[in-house]
Amino acid sequence: MTVAEEARPRLEPPTVLPAERVRKRRRRQDLAGYVFLLPWFGGVLLTFVPFCISLYLAFTDYDLLTPPKFTGLDNITQMLNDTKLHNSLVVTFTYTFVSVPLSLAAALGVAVMLNRGMRGLPLYRSIYYLPSLLGGSVAIVMLWRAIFGADGIVNHVLGLFGVEAGSWIQNPDTAMGVLISLQVWTFGSPMVIFLAALRQVPQELYEAAAVDGARKWRRFVSITMPMISPVIFFNLVLSLIGALQTFTQGFVMSNGTGGPAGSTMFYNLYLYQQGFTNFNMGYASAMAWLLLLIIAAFTGINFFAQKYWVHYES
Amino acid sequence: MTFTLKRTTAAGILTVMGATTLVGCGIGDKPGEAASGDESDGSIDVVWKGDADRAASIQEALDLFNESHPDVTITTDYQSGSEYMQKMSIRFASGDAPDLMRQERETLRDYSDRGTLLDLNEVSDVLDLSALSETVRDAGVVDGKQFGVPGGITSFSYAIRADILEKYGVEVPNMESWSWDDLLEVAAEVTEASGGEVWGTEIPVGEISNLGIWLRQHGEDLWDADGNPAFTAETVQAWFDMYLEAVEMGAQPAADELDQLGAAADQSTLGQGLVAINSIPTNSFAVFNDVSGGGLEMGYYPGESQAEQRGQQVIPSLYWSISASSADPTAAAEVLDFLINDPEGAAMIGSTHGQPANPDVSAAMADDLTPDDKVAFDEILDLSELDLAAPVPDPAGSASLRDELASIADQVKFGQITSAEGAEQFVEVAESTLGAS
Amino acid sequence: MATITERVTVRKPHPRRRAAGSFDEMHVKPWTRFARHLIVIAIGAIMMYPLLWLLAASFKPDADIFSSLSIWPSEWDFSHYTDAWTALEKPFQVFLLNSLLLAVLSIVGNLISCGMAAYAFSRLDFRGRKFMFALMLSTLMLPSQVLLVPQYVIFAQLGWLNTYLPLLVPTFLATNAFFIFLMVQFMRALPRELDDAARIDGCGSFGIFFRIIVPLCMPAFATTAIFTFIGSWNEFFGPLLYLTNQDLYTVPLALKQFMNTEGQSSWGQIFAMSVVSLAPVVGFFLAGQKYLINGIATTGLK
């Protein structure tokens, strides 16, 4: 028996058991993964340690010049009673829920128009996209201040039509509108994404619908919209997150004051004021965390709602 | 699988917590216990607020200081806007405070009340403040301790574009004895005579220093020596009401009529000739006159001579302070002493900070002044000799009160609230922010 | 959406295949097409007007800036540029070079660290991958104010103040989730067969990364580079907080020093230097727009 076994050619070269081999390979793979992630791990430390510190600070009274004093839930109680904070939330939400739909609608509308295929498409696409690169810069916000000022271009143009108007940025009713217009001016970024998505919609679908007698608008609503809904979703989520965090535009436009009568007091601007002008860094940290929760909530709602209107190809 | 996930997560959390504790200990190190930033390496860090021109002047002065003190190395930094204070607070937070710095009127006590500034009496062997008048010196004193030295003195004055008034045939009022009613009347006249081309005036209703002048004229003030509010709602309401009246009379443009693109002279409504009468910082007369083509006249505030007490004040335009955690306060004090007392150094800084606080120094400069600067100089000298309320350092929290007034005034301007409501709100805000720390 | 299984480039449509949307195009009257062109041009003109006005204003004498609407100055005044260039303690090219240095280093950092992280997430399998990926994505939602002060204290403790380290080290530590995400999308689209083929040839994970993935991901890398450049060039608060030495200042900081409210600030100079600070951004955009727009389009789809 033994002689025969020894004579048989050995088919299994390894000297370890199969299960061990799997574990070894997995460990090697894990190692590879972790090695490639080493920089990222460093980044995590750099991000998460301050993250946790700021969470601690949110429950303290910290004026930057003396050590933080733990105050428990005081900041939270204060937030509940702070009318300026509530006002800043109103301002931020107004800005977000007006400018985001407007700019996405503009983006989609122009994308649809451009998608018809026209000469010079790359040129138009670039022209529309360029503003979105510059929109967040200090120089552009200053420019908008000049444009909408009492003596700015807008009023000059209106003057040509015989319409007299005051300074749009000094008036609490219109100051926010100026900032919204700045945001809409930067619709180029989502537009480019929509354009790419529209191109991916198979022509056959339209043909089939036309054969069935569907009119243009119907085709848009029933074919185009569902097919690009994942892209709409993506743009929506990112734009919301961005708009809720607006700071520079409000700061530069109002010179850090929150605009005429608090009309441009964005949440982040108020946070900044609390932290640096009023020496309430603990309160500001609490505000920052509240913003994080709000953003997470909105994002969560969006992700939850997507199953109702976002159509994914399998 | 789950076990290892839990293990990695747990390890991760522990690491983060450990690191957090280590760093958390670093936050808010008491001044004096701070880590690396304050080792004495023979260099002094000087920071101030201003633009490139001012920076050039101050740098010149510092270079001159270095000629006689070659062993002191000076590093500098400056910002031109609100980010100056933001950066300063963060530097203090991390134990990296500058040695010698500019403090604003409204932030001095925010810093000194929290023990972060040095009592300059401790370096009085090097820093000689005896030449300064008592009023000026005391402007930086809180509870008997000297936390700041005025880097320059100035005031607010009213200025009239006499050239514009002449052009439209309006008589220039006597600025020694005019009243607020006089102001409104003349302003309305100008608006009418120019057919609306030029507005008479702009009441600086949302600007807290001007409100202060008004309050003092009525026997009150923004705050008392203890830092508590010292005014009534009625007086504030009267201030708002005057603004509304001015608008109605046509003496002043409606709220969104004109833009304030910046406080700089060439951007001001006065400088551009959009408004004929306005308040300006006294030491900026030269700049404003230059932009106005030379037709500017400067004088007292309206209502000064009729009031029970004069409202104007000679105030520090800024303070110089030394950090309590400075590694080398003696050297910093030497630099400060030079900036305050050395005639040559002061000449280099010129009038960018206002009139030098040391009267001997400013007298020495007087001969070299341009005619316009002389006008400002004489005006401040004149004000210094009047019986005016002595300035006290703004109490802690006054910076936010400043913003609040602007916001409330905006609401009144645009009719969102009545003047009475605005006054009530302002009283409430003052009570909660002032002296609260 | 359908996964992208082909290399993403903007291809001219095959002559026989109709262009996207062209189904409707065939049935449209000429005047509608004309009207549409008109609208598109009009919108484009409105979009560009503020920028052209800015450019023109930088060449107008101060008095003319707000008085005329035209984008062609009636009087050409170059003094804004020359005055502003030397108005600060250092001539402006110092700031331009500083910003350039920071931008280039940031690009290198982002490409290396985000590329490595993206490769790990998209191509390698290791314990905790899903959890870490979710963690990475969640940092997109983090408002920067949350980290501002604590991070400053950390850097102060490390002694990195007044250096470029606080600005650059994060780029070498893959802290930018957007770029990681972008690259992950790209890498996922590459066929796995390439990996397997390389493995059979004896390539390890590193070899695959360097020899196969990186060359194929050039569009994503280009996009990352361009976005990093723009972001770094425009960054204000980071440099504000960490730099105290004028020699190290970047363009946005220098620009802010013009906006002093106490001295005499000239709009002409502000605009001139704004043009100078925006020009590289525009330049980069024009040079790399193909990659930029492709890169964005790819992230959006999926």
- Residue C300 — very low, low, confident or very high, per pLDDT cuts 50/70/90? low
Test B287 with C87 for CB contact under 8 angstroms. Answer: no
Query: Has residue C13 been placed in a domain?
Result: no
Q: By C-alpha distance, which of A129, A122, A97, A93 is closest to A236?
A: A97
Q: Does B82 touch chain A (CB under 8 A)?
A: yes
Going by their DSSP bridges, the two strands B43-49 and B73-79 should be labelled as: parallel
The shortest C-alpha distance from C95 to chain A (Å) reads: 16
Test A137 with C43 for CB contact under 8 angstroms. Answer: no
Test A117 with C116 for CB contact under 8 angstroms. Answer: no
Test C152 with B27 for CB contact under 8 angstroms. Answer: no
Query: How many pairs of residues across B and C have Cβ atoms under 8 Å apart?
Result: 109
Test A32 with C286 for CB contact under 8 angstroms. Answer: no
Q: Name which of B111, B257, B403 is nearest A166 (Cβ-Cβ).
A: B257
Phi, psi (deg, nearest 5) at residue A218: -65, -40
Q: Name which of C25, C119, C175 is nearest A36 (Cβ-Cβ).
A: C119
Q: Does A177 touch chain B (CB under 8 A)?
A: no
Q: In this structure, which amino acid lies at residue B84?
A: Y
- Chain C interface disruption, residue of B96, B261, B272, most C CBs within 10 A: B96
Residues of chain A found within 8 Å of residue B16, distances taken between Cβ atoms: 45, 48-49, 52
- Return the bridge partners of B152, or none: B318
Residues 6 or more apart from C113 whose CB is under 8 A from it?
A39, A40, A43, C171, C172, C173, C174
pLDDT of B35 > 60? The answer is no
d(CA B274, CA B278): 11
Q: Does A170 touch chain B (CB under 8 A)?
A: yes
Question: Per the structure, how many domains does chain C have?
Answer: 2
- Residue B364 — very low, low, confident or very high, per pLDDT cuts 50/70/90? confident
End-to-end CA distance of chain C, in Å?
5
Same-domain check for residues C264 and C127: yes
Task: State if pTM tops 0.90.
Answer: no
Yes or no: say if C226 and C288 are a contact pair by the CB < 8 Å rule. yes
Query: Has residue A15 been placed in a domain?
Result: no
Task: Say how many C-beta atoms besides its own lie within 10 A of residue A81's C-beta.
Answer: 8
d(CA C84, CA C58): 11
Same-domain check for residues C68 and C122: no
Q: What is the pLDDT of residue C62?
A: 73
Q: What is the DSSP string of B388-405?
A: -PPP-PPPTTHHHHHHHH
d(CA B394, CA A15): 83
Q: Does A151 touch chain B (CB under 8 A)?
A: yes
Q: By C-alpha distance, which of A225, A214, A215, A199 is closest to A105?
A: A225
Q: What is the mean pLDDT of residues A292-312?
A: 85
Residues 6 or more apart from A206 whose CB is under 8 A from it?
A219, A223, C23, C24
- The chains found to touch C (3+ Cβ pairs under 8 angstroms) are A, B
What integer best gives the mean pLDDT of chain B?
A: 85
Test C141 with A241 for CB contact under 8 angstroms. Answer: yes
Q: In this structure, which amino acid lies at residue B177?
A: S
Same-domain check for residues C207 and C260: yes
C221-224: long-range pairs with CB below 8 Å, 24+: C221/C111, C221/C115, C221/C183, C222/C288, C222/C291, C222/C292, C222/C295, C223/C182, C223/C291, C223/C292, C223/C294, C223/C295, C223/C296, C224/C107, C224/C110, C224/C111, C224/C114, C224/C179, C224/C182, C224/C183, C224/C295
Test A36 with C54 for CB contact under 8 angstroms. Answer: no
Going by their DSSP bridges, the two strands B229-230 and A69-70 should be labelled as: unpaired
- Residue B18 — very low, low, confident or very high, per pLDDT cuts 50/70/90? very low
Query: Has residue C17 been placed in a domain?
Result: no
Same-domain check for residues C129 and C209: yes
CATH superfamily of B156-314+392-433: Periplasmic binding protein-like II (3.40.190.10)
pLDDT of B19 > 70? The answer is no
- C242 is written with which tokens? 């960490």
What's the CATH fold of domain B39-152+315-383?
Answer: D-Maltodextrin-Binding Protein; domain 2 (3.40.190)
Q: Does C217 touch chain B (CB under 8 A)?
A: no
Yes or no: say if B62 and C268 are a contact pair by the CB < 8 Å rule. no
Same-domain check for residues C110 and C161: yes
The shortest C-alpha distance from A240 to chain C (Å) reads: 10
The shortest C-alpha distance from B140 to chain A (Å) reads: 20
- Return the bridge partners of B314, or none: none
Task: Say how many C-beta atoms besides its own lie within 10 A of residue C130's C-beta.
Answer: 10
Test C116 with A230 for CB contact under 8 angstroms. Answer: no
Residues 111-170 of chain A whose Cβ lies under 8 A from any Cβ of chain C = 112-118, 122, 124-131, 133-134, 136-140, 142-144, 146-147, 149, 151-153, 156-157
Query: Has residue C99 been placed in a domain?
Result: yes
Q: Name which of C131, C256, C266 is nearest B81 (Cβ-Cβ).
A: C256
Tell me which of B15 and A242 has the higher pLDDT: A242
Query: Taking the mean position of all CA atoms in its chain, how far away is CA B264?
Result: 14
Query: Has residue C11 been placed in a domain?
Result: no
Same-domain check for residues C151 and C228: yes
Residues 6 or more apart from A15 whose CB is under 8 A from it?
none
pLDDT in tens, C227-268: 888 889 888 878 888 887 778 888 888 877 766 555 455 677
Query: Has residue C183 been placed in a domain?
Result: yes
H helix or E strand, kind and range, residue B182: helix B180-193
Q: By C-alpha distance, which of B117, B151, B127 is closest to B362?
A: B151
CATH of the domain at C129: 1.10.3720.10
d(CA C110, CA B53): 38
Q: Name which of A49, A257, A260 is nearest B23 (Cβ-Cβ).
A: A49
pLDDT of C166 > 50? The answer is yes
What integer best gives the mean pLDDT of chain A?
A: 84
Query: Has residue A269 been placed in a domain?
Result: yes
Question: Nearest residue on chain B to C132, judged by CA atoms?
Answer: B9
Residues 6 or more apart from B172 whose CB is under 8 A from it?
B160, B162, B165, B166, B297
Task: Say how many C-beta atoms besides its own lie within 10 A of residue B416's C-beta.
Answer: 17
d(CA A288, CA A279): 15
Q: Name which of A65, A172, A276 is nearest B111 (Cβ-Cβ).
A: A65
Question: Nearest residue on chain C to B93, judged by CA atoms?
Answer: C153
Question: Nearest residue on chain B to A265, judged by CA atoms?
Answer: B407
Query: Has residue A200 been placed in a domain?
Result: yes
Q: What is the pLDDT of residue B2?
A: 38
Q: What is the DSSP letter of B142?
A: E
Yes or no: say if A279 and B89 are a contact pair by the CB < 8 Å rule. yes
CATH of the domain at A144: 1.10.3720.10
Burial class (CB in 10 A: 0-12, 13-18, 19+), B437: middle
Query: Has residue A61 been placed in a domain?
Result: no
Test A117 with C28 for CB contact under 8 angstroms. Answer: no
Burial class (CB in 10 A: 0-12, 13-18, 19+), B53: middle
Phi, psi (deg, nearest 5) at residue A70: -70, 130
End-to-end CA distance of chain A, in Å?
58
Q: Name which of B50, B55, B56 is nearest C262 (Cβ-Cβ).
A: B50
Yes or no: say if A270 and A85 are a contact pair by the CB < 8 Å rule. yes
Same-domain check for residues C120 and C159: yes
- Return the bridge partners of B75, or none: B45
Max mean pLDDT range (A11-15, A226-230, B362-366): B362-366
Write out chain A in H/E/C secondary structure.
Answer: CHHHHHHCCCCCCCCCCHHHHHHHHHHHHHHHHHHHCHHHHHHHHHHHHHHHHHHHHCCEECCCCCCCEECCCHHHHHHHHCHHHHHHHHHHHHHHHHHHHHHHHHHHHHHHHHHCCCCCHHHHHHHHHHHHHHCCCHHHHHHHHHHCCCCCHHHHHHHHCCCCCCCCCCCCCCHHHHHHHHHHHCCHHHHHHHHHHHHCCCHHHHHHHHHCCCCHHHHHHHHHHHHHHHHHHHHHHHHHHHHHCCCHHHHHHHCCCCCHHHCCCCHHHHHHHHHHHCCCHHHHHHHHHHHHHHHHHHHHHHHHHHHHHCCCCC
Apex B214 CA angle, B208 and B219, nearest 5: 120
- Alpha helices for C139-189 (secondary structure H): 145-158, 165-172, 177-189
Query: Has residue A39 been placed in a domain?
Result: no
Q: What is the mean pLDDT of residues B346-363?
A: 85
Query: Has residue A64 been placed in a domain?
Result: no
Question: Residue C255: helix, strand or coil by DSSP?
Answer: helix
Phi, psi (deg, nearest 5) at residue B318: -165, 165
Test A52 with B399 for CB contact under 8 angstroms. Answer: no
Query: How many pairs of residues across A and C have Cβ atoms under 8 Å apart?
Result: 266
Same-domain check for residues C65 and C93: no
pLDDT in tens, C182-229: 788 778 777 778 888 888 887 777 888 888 888 878 777 887 888 888
Question: Nearest residue on chain B to A56, judged by CA atoms?
Answer: B24
Residues 365-424 of chain B whose Cβ lies under 8 A from any Cβ of chain A = 397, 399-400, 403, 406-407, 410-411, 414, 416
Q: What is the pLDDT of residue B262?
A: 60
Going by their DSSP bridges, the two strands B275-281 and B199-201 should be labelled as: parallel
Torsion sign over Cα B133, B139, B140, B143: positive
Residues 273-312 of chain A whose Cβ lies under 8 A from any Cβ of chain B = 273, 276-279, 281
Test C23 with A201 for CB contact under 8 angstroms. Answer: no
Query: Has residue A287 been placed in a domain?
Result: yes
Same-domain check for residues C53 and C164: no
Task: Say how many C-beta atoms besides its own lie within 10 A of residue A201's C-beta.
Answer: 18
Structural domain boundaries enclosing C71: 22-79
Q: What is the pLDDT of residue B263?
A: 63
Question: Per the structure, how many domains does chain A have?
Answer: 1
Structural domain boundaries enclosing A169: 82-309
Test C154 with A198 for CB contact under 8 angstroms. Answer: no
The shortest C-alpha distance from B322 to chain A (Å) reads: 15
- B332 is written with which tokens? 């910093």
Q: Does C2 touch chain A (CB under 8 A)?
A: yes
Q: Name which of C141, C278, C301 is nearest A299 (Cβ-Cβ).
A: C141
Residues of chain A found within 8 Å of residue C285, distances taken between Cβ atoms: 126, 129-130, 133
d(CA A117, CA A107): 16
Q: Does B27 touch chain A (CB under 8 A)?
A: yes
End-to-end CA distance of chain B, in Å?
54
Yes or no: say if C171 and C113 are a contact pair by the CB < 8 Å rule. yes
Cα torsion through B182, B184, B186, B192, rounded to 10: -160
Residue B39 CA neighbour count, 13 Å, CB half:
4
Residues 4-43 of chain C whose Cβ lies under 8 A from any Cβ of chain A = 18-25, 28, 33, 36-37, 39-40, 43
Same-domain check for residues C151 and C285: yes
pLDDT in tens, C61-118: 876 776 666 777 777 878 888 877 777 767 888 888 999 999 999 999 999 999 999 9
Query: Taking the mean position of all CA atoms in its chain, how far away is CA C188?
Result: 23
- B190 is written with which tokens? 């100008």
Yes or no: say if A104 and A193 are a contact pair by the CB < 8 Å rule. no
Question: Nearest residue on chain C to B34, judged by CA atoms?
Answer: C157
pLDDT in tens, B378-409: 999 899 889 888 888 898 888 889 889 999 99
> How is chain B split into domains, by residue range?
39-152+315-383, 156-314+392-433
Q: Name which of C43, C259, C297 is nearest A196 (Cβ-Cβ).
A: C297
Query: Has residue C279 been placed in a domain?
Result: yes
Query: Has residue C9 been placed in a domain?
Result: no
Q: What percentage of chain B exceeds 90 in pLDDT?
A: 49
Same-domain check for residues C248 and C182: yes
Structure ipTM over 0.90, yes or no: no
Task: Say how many C-beta atoms besides its own lie within 10 A of residue C256's C-beta.
Answer: 19
- Alpha helices for B276-418 (secondary structure H): 285-291, 329-341, 343-349, 359-366, 371-385, 398-413
Apex B18 CA angle, B17 and B20, nearest 5: 65
Q: What is the pLDDT of residue C13?
A: 44
The shortest C-alpha distance from A7 to chain C (Å) reads: 32
Query: Has residue A7 been placed in a domain?
Result: no
Residues of chain B found within 8 Å of residue A56, distances taken between Cβ atoms: 20, 24
